[in-house]
A and B are shown apart, each in its own frame.
Chain A
Amino acid sequence: MDIADNLLIGLSVAFQPHNLFFCFLGVLIGTLIGVLPGLGPVGAMSILLPITFGISPVTAIIMLSGIYYGAQYGGSTTSILVGIPGEAASVVTMLDGHQMALKGRAGPALGIAAFGSFIAGTIGIIGLMLLAPPLAKVALKFGPPEYFALMIMGLVILTYLAQKSMVKSLMMAGVGLLAGMVGMDTMTGMPRFIFDVPDLLDGIGIAPLAMGLFGVSEILLNVERKIKQSVVVSKVTNLLPSRQDWKDSAMPIARGSIAGFFLGILPGGGAVLASFISYGVEKRVSKTPEQFGHGAIAGVAGPEAANNAAAQAAFIPLLTLGVPANAVMGILLGALMIHGISPGPMMIEKNPELFWGTVTSMYVGNIMLLVLNLPLIGLWVKLLRVRYAVLFPLILFIALIGAYVINGSEMDLYLMLFFGVIGYLMRKFDYEPAPLILAFVLTNILEDSLRQSLIISGGSMSIFVTRPIAAGFLFVSLVLLITAVIPSIRKKRSALAATADDNA
């Protein structure tokens, strides 16, 4: 089957009324959580995971994907109008976008952010369509050693790109693996770390863990301080960028889309990194770098394009290899598994409706987002005036009910609270939760592929270095670990982390 046939399959799925509805719901919720500071896409997706249990897997993934890429759009609105990043990938957009708003150019800033996101999102989807099927064919050659090495590389890249200490991030990945081992060992049937609690035999659920680490902990941190939401404009006008704005933004959008796409594919990469790199590149190639930080439209267009292209590209490793590139994809993997679908090289062959339906729904979702973010901008401006004191109790309430209804078990609520407090303390002590959740999701596949590899090789670890693909992945991991301790690179990483902190 060629791409045209596959597109037709996808369109027939995406245009089913209930899929259109859930796609709209997803991008609407995504925009909403992107606009509202205090809850990122990981938290929101984990909170809404139980809602997807009653619908088909393809509809569930269409909705959850919509939340993810919708949040990338919505985040820019808050960054530009309020000067607070709606979510992490919009931190850079805030630097010039908010300055533009202060100078009375909120409209063009929002306009170019939305158009740039749309163009990049479309490029990302085309790349996903073209790259995923051949990559899945290559992945068919992967055996357990290759999978094990790939997952190690993913975890190393994620920790390498961590904004805080790499040692801490590596440690969090280790903690995530240990959390993933709670419950019955799937190979031997032996219970591990269940402390005589029968509810733990099935392991810790992804939903209470993610809701606790990302949702509850964020609320606990936010209630400690007063969140001020001062919108700089009451009415946004002139959303269409001028000819000069387009001229200044065309190349940044093109560069941001391409860089974002390739950074998004990397396991461990993603939208946040893509936006930072795009901003750095644009500032470097600009003839007027001094304007950056003072309202340069290229500083909005490039990063916004990059984070949206990366958001689409992040689906590639998940849908072709079954390896989530970041924490959001980890939640999606969890959702697919709950629905009895194991993403991987065979998924495109076995479930073409799911793959192509999801991809084509992204086209539809991107168009919906353009409508939601431009003509309806007034609605989001009004929403930004809703007090956090009203919002956070509702978010907490939905999280609690969401955690309960998955299994109808009080234990999930206790787990959510436990991980909420752990997440709160982790953030206080500067430990990032993303490597933990990614390692947690990967534990089963990682452990199984390690065991299978050792069984195949008769107990010899050399299997990981004698097979070229596995050796290649491990070599990259090793190089990254070595370069991370080289003083000059370490300094650069620290400087980047400091910039991110200052801007956040």
Chain B
Amino acid sequence: MNAERVGGLFWLLFGCAAAYGGLDLGLGTMEEPGSGFLTFVAGSFVSLMALLIVIQSFSGDTAAQARVSDLWKGVMWWRAVAISGLILLFIVSFETIGFFVCSFLLLVIIMRWLEGLEWKMCLLVPTIATVTTYLVFKKMMNISLPAGIFGF
């Protein structure tokens, strides 16, 4: 499917939802605009611009326009998905497992599994990074970092 059209349709839906949300919040009056006034205006504006993009996607040389699948052609898209998944895992387990274990594992997994770096590098760099970060935030700036179930 035409990438421009898909993008336009997404933002059209988003803009309409925002405009509806603005109506729901209440527009108020011109003398005293309500919480939904600017929300409605901005949502309508986004919808209008998105509609223009959708209309434009039907004009011009449609054969020359990129398809959604073209945007991921020839790139290692799975690596972006893997990184996003790892970040999500990190967030979910960060407070439970704790700063040290979570951070160390995240770095080791990315460097070893995703990037295929040698073990020496994969252990040395995460160790230095986690210890330095701990010293800067916890010891120098007195900002608490989650200790987690292991207590460190």
> A190 to B21, alpha carbons, bound, how many Å?
13
A178 touches B88 (CB 8 A): no
A224 touches B103 (CB 8 A): no
CB 8 Å contact bits of A394-435 with B (1 = contact, 0 = none): 101110110011001010011001001100100011110000
Give the Cβ gap from A234 to chain B, nearest Cβ, in Å: 22
Find the B residue at minimum CB distance from A174.
B46
One of A51, A216, A225, A401 near B76 (C-beta < 8 A): A225
User: Which residues B19-50 have CB closer than 8 A to chain A?
Assistant: 21, 25, 29-39, 42-43, 45-46, 49-50
User: Which residues B56-88 have CB closer than 8 A to chain A?
Assistant: 56, 71-72, 75-77, 79-80, 83-84, 87-88
Residue A9 CB within 8 A of the other chain? no
B53 touches A225 (CB 8 A): no
A174-B91 contact in complex given A397-B129, A405-B145, C-beta closer than 8 Å:
no
Residue A177 CB within 8 A of the other chain? yes
Find the B residue at minimum CB distance from A424.
B80
Find the B residue at minimum CB distance from A409.
B95
One of B50, B91, B137, B142 near A410 (C-beta < 8 A): B91
Residue A447 CB within 8 A of the other chain? yes
A429 touches B3 (CB 8 A): yes
B53 touches A171 (CB 8 A): yes
> A225 to B145, alpha carbons, bound, how many Å?
34
> A446 to B42, alpha carbons, bound, how many Å?
12
Find the A residue at minimum CB distance from B115.
A389
A224-B125 contact in complex given A401-B103, A431-B7, C-beta closer than 8 Å:
no
A397-B106 contact in complex given A190-B35, A216-B87, A454-B31, C-beta closer than 8 Å:
yes
Residues on A with beta carbons closer than 8 Å to the beta carbon of B46: 171, 174-175, 178
Residues on B with beta carbons closer than 8 Å to the beta carbon of A188: 34-35
> A400 to B94, alpha carbons, bound, how many Å?
10
A429-B91 contact in complex given A178-B39, A398-B133, C-beta closer than 8 Å:
no
Find the A residue at minimum CB distance from B74.
A225
Residues on A with beta carbons closer than 8 Å to the beta carbon of B114: 223
User: Which residues B121-152 have CB closer than 8 A to chain A?
Assistant: 121, 125, 129, 133, 136-137, 141-145
A178-B18 contact in complex given A405-B137, A405-B145, C-beta closer than 8 Å:
yes
A393 touches B43 (CB 8 A): no
B42 touches A397 (CB 8 A): no
Residues on B with beta carbons closer than 8 Å to the beta carbon of A424: 80
A429-B49 contact in complex given A54-B141, A192-B35, A455-B31, C-beta closer than 8 Å:
no
Find the B residue at minimum CB distance from A187.
B35
Residue A193 CB within 8 A of the other chain? yes
Residues on B with beta carbons closer than 8 Å to the beta carbon of A396: 83, 87, 110
A451 touches B33 (CB 8 A): yes
B87 touches A190 (CB 8 A): no
One of A417, A454, A455 near B91 (C-beta < 8 A): A417
CB 8 Å contact bits of A251-291 with B (1 = contact, 0 = none): 00000000000000000000000000000000000000000
Residues on A with beta carbons closer than 8 Å to the beta carbon of B30: 454, 459-461
A400 touches B80 (CB 8 A): no
Residues on B with beta carbons closer than 8 Å to the beta carbon of A390: 111, 115, 117, 121, 125
A428-B91 contact in complex given A171-B11, A447-B38, A454-B31, C-beta closer than 8 Å:
no
22 examples of A-B residue contacts, CB within 8 angstroms: A53-B141, A54-B143, A165-B53, A170-B45, A174-B15, A185-B35, A193-B21, A223-B76, A223-B114, A224-B77, A389-B115, A390-B115, A390-B121, A393-B106, A397-B133, A405-B137, A405-B143, A429-B4, A429-B71, A431-B7, A450-B33, A459-B32
* Chain B residues within 8 Å of A, Cβ to Cβ: 3-4, 6-7, 11, 14-15, 18, 21, 25, 29-39, 42-43, 45-46, 49-50, 52-53, 56, 71-72, 75-77, 79-80, 83-84, 87-88, 90-91, 94-95, 99, 103, 106-107, 110-111, 114-115, 117, 121, 125, 129, 133, 136-137, 141-145
* Chain A residues within 8 Å of B, Cβ to Cβ: 51, 53-54, 165, 167-168, 170-171, 174-175, 177-178, 181, 185, 187-188, 190, 192-193, 216, 219-221, 223-225, 389-390, 393-394, 396-398, 400-401, 404-405, 408, 410, 413-414, 417, 420-421, 424, 428-431, 446-447, 450-451, 454-455, 458-461
